[in-house]
Amino acid sequence: MEKYDVVIIGAGPVGLTLSTCLARWGYRIKHIDNRAEPTATGRADGIQPRSLDLLRNMGLKRKIMAHDPAKVYEVAFWDPNSKGIHRTGTWASCPKFIDARYPFTTLLHQGLIERVFIEDIEKHGVQIQRPWTITGFQNDGKDPSYPVEVRLAHVDGTQTETVRAKYLFSGEGARSFVRDQLGVKMIHKDPIAHVWGVMDGVVRTDFPDIKMKCTIHSDAGSIMVIPRENNMVRLYIQIASSTDPDWHPRKTTTQEEVQRRAKEILKPYTISWDRVEWYSVYPIGQGIAERYTLDERVFMGGDACHTHSPKAGQGMNTAFLDAVNLAWKIHHVERGFAPRSLLSTYESERKLIAENLLDFDARYAKLFSARIPSAGEVSGASSQSTCMQENEFVTTFKASCEFTSGYGVAYNANAINWSPDAHPAQHSLFLSRASGTTKLRPGKILTPATVTRVVDANVVHLEQEIPLNGSYRLYIFGGCPKKNSVALHDLATHLSAPKSFYTTFSHQDLSSKDRYHERHNPHSDFVSVCTVLNAKRADIEIADMLPELLARYQDHVYADDVWDARVPDAKAAAHAKMGLDETRGGVVVVRPDGYVGCVVGLAEGRGTVEALDAYFGVLVGRRLGGERSVL
Amino acid sequence: MEKYDVVIIGAGPVGLTLSTCLARWGYRIKHIDNRAEPTATGRADGIQPRSLDLLRNMGLKRKIMAHDPAKVYEVAFWDPNSKGIHRTGTWASCPKFIDARYPFTTLLHQGLIERVFIEDIEKHGVQIQRPWTITGFQNDGKDPSYPVEVRLAHVDGTQTETVRAKYLFSGEGARSFVRDQLGVKMIHKDPIAHVWGVMDGVVRTDFPDIKMKCTIHSDAGSIMVIPRENNMVRLYIQIASSTDPDWHPRKTTTQEEVQRRAKEILKPYTISWDRVEWYSVYPIGQGIAERYTLDERVFMGGDACHTHSPKAGQGMNTAFLDAVNLAWKIHHVERGFAPRSLLSTYESERKLIAENLLDFDARYAKLFSARIPSAGEVSGASSQSTCMQENEFVTTFKASCEFTSGYGVAYNANAINWSPDAHPAQHSLFLSRASGTTKLRPGKILTPATVTRVVDANVVHLEQEIPLNGSYRLYIFGGCPKKNSVALHDLATHLSAPKSFYTTFSHQDLSSKDRYHERHNPHSDFVSVCTVLNAKRADIEIADMLPELLARYQDHVYADDVWDARVPDAKAAAHAKMGLDETRGGVVVVRPDGYVGCVVGLAEGRGTVEALDAYFGVLVGRRLGGERSVL
């Protein structure tokens, strides 16, 4: 019987993202999908700013942008008036108060996005097996190393296959066989079910905002406009809704009926279609799966775990992040870096986000149906300043923008996300927002910062410098290198101590294998290291100023010498944006998926590594450090 | 006998760029190359900042960047000292005083760049015929429409072909059959011939600047280091030079000898090679062709017209710009937009640039051999400020940076590049640097500016908004739209007058052909129009504020509402960067290749269009305007 590390069911965004990560990290994968081809037209299409960061970190952004997607920078709101409809305001979709590299939503048809992933997966030797489906599975433990048996079949029933796997993952979408078999229920918080009509096409219109995202309310109904690649536009029309659990809505509204509705709603403007690429009518309710896994062997993610209205454009984005969250945890368990208990944080972290998403979905609708915001509120909500008095509207709107952009996603304190109260590792050198010693919050994404790479003087995005390689990222903000020379050397000395987290997980073949050209993982796959110094690039001599351990990562040494409009008075903008002292610096641990794990002070002596050993010790479930360095 | 618009000999950078432009604009092309395959390894590899702008304007930049080229931001200078060599300074390769979108040199092997062009050419139906060569040609005028006969043959002599063409272009490189046949001499200004060794490979070294461009002088000789894609580095070593015209240098230096030389020069640092991808030894002298064409039917460009040392990394860049300069002129003559005399400006404009390049080559060498610059000079030379006293060194260095980045390229005044003294068109509304009414200089590239596109709120690069479509670009800086409403409507009215330049060259089938989805050329292929208003995006209603002619270009209406650090106090930064009055605006005519043609005031009445008609009248060789509008 064939054995796989992971069997993945479904080649939509969640399955493909998981497959991409694990294939790159060397796992043996069986990936099936019950469709004969990737998505041809329609379906999800909105990539949020934070997701674009992630795709860039995976090296896939450029291929996605090569399709010339539409970019949505603003959302326009239209309401009825005596002439038909009129614009009541426009809002940045990712306002300036959010520190985003790409402050826009990227609109591209899901099939093109899927193909970018598939190409990458195939490069790493995995083929999606189509059209195949899952017919059964059980975690029978007959083979302790590959405890899950999975039965697969060609959709026409002519062929079957039974394989064993360490993990089974369902990215099957809203109708999940795996979820049904597990008996996991979907919880429907909002009792209203909606029927939506959606149509992609090329139009002719004098409606001035046809290239913007628009929410239009008129006496003839409501419509949402979303620009697309290839001069197309998507229209969402809410056709019907009901709270009656026995409601059986008509799902057969024709294309012509939807076009007629759109024409009515858009009056006094006119619209006609040159061609329709895709048209669908579907009912959708809000729902969330009670569990994402029962045994930490069989997992689910994406639409199999959460469904909601398409209005906020969050579906695919939540799927990406579900998959990345799970991928690195499986990797760390399988590589022996972490105990199996790490896997329990997949459900606790990602289910919280799905719950927030559903709450948000409801709040967002209410926000704009209540009343038209005043001009002062509009500018207040978009402002970078936080001094002004904010009313509830502005506060809610800001939170909404942060959430939809993906930057509001924050995981609660747990073993991975350090906190002053809840984390078992405690040490005087931990920094926190509460104490004002850092602006970073564990569980939130690392703040972006622009720095100069020392070896080639390239101006780079610090948060993107380590690719998605499955390693923790240790950002050493070295402060003033002259004043901190002892601290930096002490740090390296104690990192090299035989029982430190750094040494414990170093390559087994460290002394025998040639890794001269390895940039990110010269010593260990557990962690990659970046050093950022508060100095001009030309004043940094890596070999002279840094201890050997840090100098070995010569491609990851940066000068914090690029001015940033968000901290205009800072000399070392990256230090300042993290809220670290520009002279004394600090050490930031970032999880493999880009979220902050903990922040530690950089001090002379062994304290810094002691704190890091304590933090990682909790994560990896063993005692680290505690011995003197041999160096 | 087959007839072609253009026969192109040679598929290096100059031939491919010409082919790409003309194929897109619908010309019938025969393109041959005597190599069986595109460049496999080595050869030219430096793309300067201005060339990257051009490649982006051609829609090719993204495909080039997809190969992950090296980016050079700084150049390091190393000199001998008692220990071997030491760094005397580093310099930005494109310092901040140059307003560049991409302030770095892009390094990528020529073959990958060629393939990007070839793919695009093939999309437009042209196949490069290989390995074929030219065996003869003559402008015999036997067919007045296709006056040039060209004889071609397979390199193995088994097949021949004779075709007729409107134009023949030699992009054959330094050894040009066409140039020899025409009897055009190469002029060698610098009597020194050099022999260079060049080697691309993957190295191991402790030399700290191996990822920077370096010029290294040591007691053992000189070397130039240039980082490359794929973790490679190129080393140029000057092996020998002589002023003796009968000198026959040894061209057989082995790879091992060059490596030994490099090891000597780099001491006290060590270097060794993991692999060598390409190695070549070649003699090169500075030379420039006396003529680029004799009859304006048979043209030459690229290395066929100018050869020089590889030090400044200019070869391929000069080739790109030769080709684009010729392409649009052939296009305008063949479309009946301009008289044949326009073609004479190809030689006059491009030969000047080649002469500047050769002069620069000499001056650049002298600049750094004379003495080591002081720290004050270094910071002065890189500074954005122009207030400080500049000594000769700083002035020369700044001019060098401008030149090598491509932004110093400036064409002299002629029929296309308006000037207050030399141009036949004179009108009180022409603006000039002399009068302080604009900062733009005809013959120089349009200053970059960031603006907000009104229809979709996208933040865009104004200078890139019109693709390289062969049309003039009319940038209407509308100033304050309320105050200039009459001027904008008068402009449209007079543009619509029956004999204006705008109407004269409008589409023949304007009323019969559906151009609803045409964004750049709805009325005419002669010109594309952008309107930039000094207002916030949300305050601009295109249909209400602009006359119909300008509103038709709804995808090219912009809000000048993006703050720019170079004009921090300006309300309308794009207006300010052009040196136009932020309230009154102005009209900028940009040539199809991106260089400014003329700048005209925006005034109520017919004056603005009168001035434009006078300017274009000179270019197109006929009287324009002079009748009242019928509207």
Residue A181: pLDDT band with limits 50, 70, 90 = very high
Asked if A227's CB is within 8 angstroms of B456's CB, the reply is yes
Residue A593 half-sphere exposure toward CB, CA atoms < 13 A: 30
For the structural domain made of B3-67+109-187+288-354, what CATH number should be given? 3.50.50.60
Measured in angstroms, the CA of A453 and the nearest CA of chain B are apart by: 10
Which one is predicted more confidently, B92 or A28?
A28
Which residues in chain B have their CB less than 8 angstroms from residue A213's CB? none
Residue B248: pLDDT over 90:
no
What does the pLDDT look like over B461-481, one tens digit per residue? 999 999 999 999 999 999 999
Alpha-helix residue ranges (DSSP H) falling in B473-606: 485-495, 501-504, 542-545, 548-551, 573-578
Residue A213: pLDDT over 80:
yes
Residue A217: pLDDT over 90:
no
Q: Across the interface, which of B73, B208, B231 has its CB nearest the CB of A458?
A: B73
Domain A70-107+191-285 is in which class? alpha beta
Tokens 């799966």 locate to: A289
Q: Across the interface, which of B212, B231, B457 has its CB nearest the CB of A457?
A: B212
CB-based contact B267:B141 (threshold 8 Å): no
As a whole number, mean pLDDT of residues B497-507 equals 96
Best B90, B458, B561 member to test A by mutation, with max A CBs in 10 Å, is: B458
Hey, do A3-41+49-64+109-185+288-354 and A70-107+191-285 end up sharing a CATH topology, with the first three levels equal?
A: no
Which residues in chain B have their CB less than 8 angstroms from residue A231's CB? 517
3-state helix, strand, coil in chain B (%, to 5): 30, 25, 45
Asked if A62's CB is within 8 angstroms of B66's CB, the reply is yes
Residue A379: pLDDT band with limits 50, 70, 90 = low
Average pLDDT taken over every residue of chain B:
91
Which one is predicted more confidently, B206 or A197?
B206
What are the DSSP calls for B82-148, one per residue?
A: TTEEEEEEEEESS-TTS--SS-SEEE--HHHHHHHHHHHHHHTT--EETTEEEEEEEE--SSTTS-E
And the tokens for A25? 């990290």
**Bond prior to A481 in cis (omega within 30° of 0):** no
**Bond prior to A131 in cis (omega within 30° of 0):** yes
Which residues in chain A have their CB less than 8 angstroms from residue B458's CB? 71, 73, 104
Cα A489-A493-A498 angle, rounded to 5 deg: 170
* Residues of chain A that touch chain B, judged by Cβ-Cβ distance less than 8 Å: 62-63, 65-66, 70-74, 90, 104, 202, 204, 206, 208-212, 227, 231, 274, 455-459, 516-517, 537-538, 541-543
Measured in angstroms, the CA of B61 and the nearest CA of chain A are apart by: 10
CA–chain centroid gap for B413, Å, is 18
CB-based contact B402:B98 (threshold 8 Å): yes
Measured in angstroms, the CA of A137 and the nearest CA of chain B are apart by: 42
What does the pLDDT look like over B548-571, one tens digit per residue? 999 999 999 999 999 999 999 999
pLDDT of residue A387: 42
CA–chain centroid gap for B15, Å, is 14
Q: From CA B330, how far away is CA B22, in angstroms rounded?
A: 9
Homologous superfamily assigned to B70-107+191-283: D-Amino Acid Oxidase, subunit A, domain 2 (3.30.9.10)
Q: From CA B20, how far away is CA B39, in angstroms rounded?
A: 18
Closest by Cα among A333, A386, A610, A469 to A21: A469
Which one is predicted more confidently, B401 or A396?
B401
Which one is predicted more confidently, A91 or A73?
A73
pLDDT of residue B630: 41
As a whole number, mean pLDDT of residues A27-48 equals 90
Asked if A63's CB is within 8 angstroms of B62's CB, the reply is no
Identify the weakest region by mean pLDDT among A43-47, B72-76, B327-331: A43-47
Q: From CA B618, how far away is CA A163, in angstroms rounded?
A: 79
Nearest CA in chain B to A228: B456
Best B77, B211, B453 member to test A by mutation, with max A CBs in 10 Å, is: B211
Closest by Cα among B79, B324, B342, B327 to B221: B79
pLDDT of residue A628: 47
Residue A191: pLDDT over 70:
no
As a whole number, mean pLDDT of residues B51-69 equals 96
Tokens 């901290």 locate to: A567
Residue A630: pLDDT over 50:
no
| Beta strand pairing call for A450-453 and A306-307 | unpaired
Residue B323: partners with Cβ closer than 8 Å, 6 or more residues away:
B13, B14, B15, B16, B17, B18, B21, B171, B301, B302
Q: From CA A145, how far away is CA A128, in angstroms rounded?
A: 24
CB-based contact B477:B443 (threshold 8 Å): no
pLDDT of residue A371: 46
pLDDT of residue B628: 47
As a whole number, mean pLDDT of residues A125-150 equals 97
Residue A388: pLDDT band with limits 50, 70, 90 = very low
B275 SS3 class: strand
Q: Across the interface, which of B206, B211, B274 has its CB nearest the CB of A456?
A: B211
Q: Which CATH number fits domain B450-620: 3.30.465.10, 3.40.30.20, 3.40.640.10, 1.10.1240.10?
A: 3.40.30.20
Nearest CA in chain A to B61: A66
Angle, to 10 degrees, between the axis of helix B315-334 and the axis of helix B49-57? 40
pLDDT of residue B580: 98
**Bond prior to B268 in cis (omega within 30° of 0):** yes
Residue A180: pLDDT band with limits 50, 70, 90 = very high
Asked if B517's CB is within 8 angstroms of A202's CB, the reply is yes
Asked if A227's CB is within 8 angstroms of B73's CB, the reply is no
**Bond prior to A467 in cis (omega within 30° of 0):** no
pLDDT of residue A366: 62
Amino acid at A122: E
What does the pLDDT look like over A10-33, one tens digit per residue? 999 999 999 999 999 999 999 999
As a whole number, mean pLDDT of residues A211-232 equals 91
Best A456, A459, A544 member to test B by mutation, with max B CBs in 10 Å, is: A456
Identify the weakest region by mean pLDDT among A593-597, B31-35, B277-281: B277-281
**Torsion sign over Cα B372, B377, B378, B382:** negative
Q: Across the interface, which of B70, B274, B455 has its CB nearest the CB of A211?
A: B455
Which one is predicted more confidently, A238 or A98?
A98
Identify the weakest region by mean pLDDT among A62-76, A235-249, A300-314, B184-198: A235-249
pLDDT of residue A285: 73
Residue A408: pLDDT band with limits 50, 70, 90 = confident
Asked if A65's CB is within 8 angstroms of B66's CB, the reply is no
Residue A238: pLDDT over 90:
no
Measured in angstroms, the CA of B211 and the nearest CA of chain A are apart by: 5
As a whole number, mean pLDDT of residues B229-250 equals 78
pLDDT of residue B379: 58
Fold of A3-41+49-64+109-185+288-354: FAD/NAD(P)-binding domain (3.50.50)
Which residues in chain A have their CB less than 8 angstroms from residue B71's CB? 456, 458
Residue B443: pLDDT over 90:
yes
Count interface pairs A-B at CB distance under 8 A.
Answer: 70
pLDDT of residue B366: 62
| Beta strand pairing call for B128-129 and B29-32 | parallel
Closest by Cα among A366, A368, A371, A396 to A381: A396
CB-based contact A527:A473 (threshold 8 Å): yes
Asked if B457's CB is within 8 angstroms of A90's CB, the reply is yes
Residue A329: partners with Cβ closer than 8 Å, 6 or more residues away:
A338, A342, A343, A345, A346
CB-based contact A543:B206 (threshold 8 Å): yes
Asked if A62's CB is within 8 angstroms of B63's CB, the reply is no
As a whole number, mean pLDDT of residues B410-439 equals 96
And the tokens for A464? 């993107």
* CA distance to A115, B472, B597, per residue, from B625 (Å): 54, 18, 19
> What are the extents of the domains in chain A?
3-41+49-64+109-185+288-354, 70-107+191-285, 364-405, 450-620
Closest by Cα among A611, A557, A562, A619 to A587: A611
Asked if A516's CB is within 8 angstroms of B541's CB, the reply is no
As a whole number, mean pLDDT of residues A562-567 equals 95
Which residues in chain A have their CB less than 8 angstroms from residue B65's CB? 62
Measured in angstroms, the CA of A184 and the nearest CA of chain B are apart by: 43
Closest by Cα among B472, B362, B386 to B97: B386
CB-based contact A70:A134 (threshold 8 Å): no
Q: From CA A45, how far away is CA A39, in angstroms rounded?
A: 11
CB-based contact B552:B523 (threshold 8 Å): yes
Which one is predicted more confidently, B42 or A339?
A339
Residue A134: pLDDT over 80:
yes
Which residues in chain B have their CB less than 8 angstroms from residue A537's CB? 74
Predicted complex ipTM exceeds 0.85:
yes
A555 SS3 class: helix
Residue B248: partners with Cβ closer than 8 Å, 6 or more residues away:
none
- Local structure of residue B539 (DSSP, 8 states): G
Asked if B73's CB is within 8 angstroms of A457's CB, the reply is yes
Q: From CA A34, how far away is CA A134, in angstroms rounded?
A: 9
CB-based contact A13:A110 (threshold 8 Å): yes
Q: Across the interface, which of A73, A455, A516 has its CB nearest the CB of B459?
A: A73
Percentage above 90 pLDDT, chain A: 76
Asked if B73's CB is within 8 angstroms of A456's CB, the reply is yes
pLDDT of residue B93: 86
Residue B123: pLDDT over 70:
yes
Q: From CA A81, how far away is CA A77, in angstroms rounded?
A: 13
And the tokens for B281? 């030894």
Q: Across the interface, which of B65, B211, B456 has its CB nearest the CB of A455?
A: B211
CB-based contact B502:B523 (threshold 8 Å): yes
Which residues in chain A have their CB less than 8 angstroms from residue B210's CB? 455
Tell the burial category of A568 from Cβ atoms under 10 Å away from its Cβ (0-12, 13-18, 19+).
exposed
Residue B331: pLDDT over 90:
yes
Which residues in chain A have their CB less than 8 angstroms from residue B90's CB? 457, 538
CB-based contact A121:A22 (threshold 8 Å): no
As a whole number, mean pLDDT of residues A253-258 equals 87
Nearest CA in chain A to B564: A565
pLDDT of residue B385: 47
Closest by Cα among B262, B259, B270, B275 to B207: B270
Nearest CA in chain B to A540: B208
Measured in angstroms, the CA of A227 and the nearest CA of chain B are apart by: 9
Q: Across the interface, which of B70, B210, B516 has its CB nearest the CB of A204?
A: B516
Residue A399: pLDDT band with limits 50, 70, 90 = confident
* Residues of chain B that touch chain A, judged by Cβ-Cβ distance less than 8 Å: 62-63, 65-66, 70-74, 90, 104, 202, 204, 206, 208-212, 227, 231, 274, 455-459, 516-517, 537-538, 541-543
Percentage above 90 pLDDT, chain B: 76
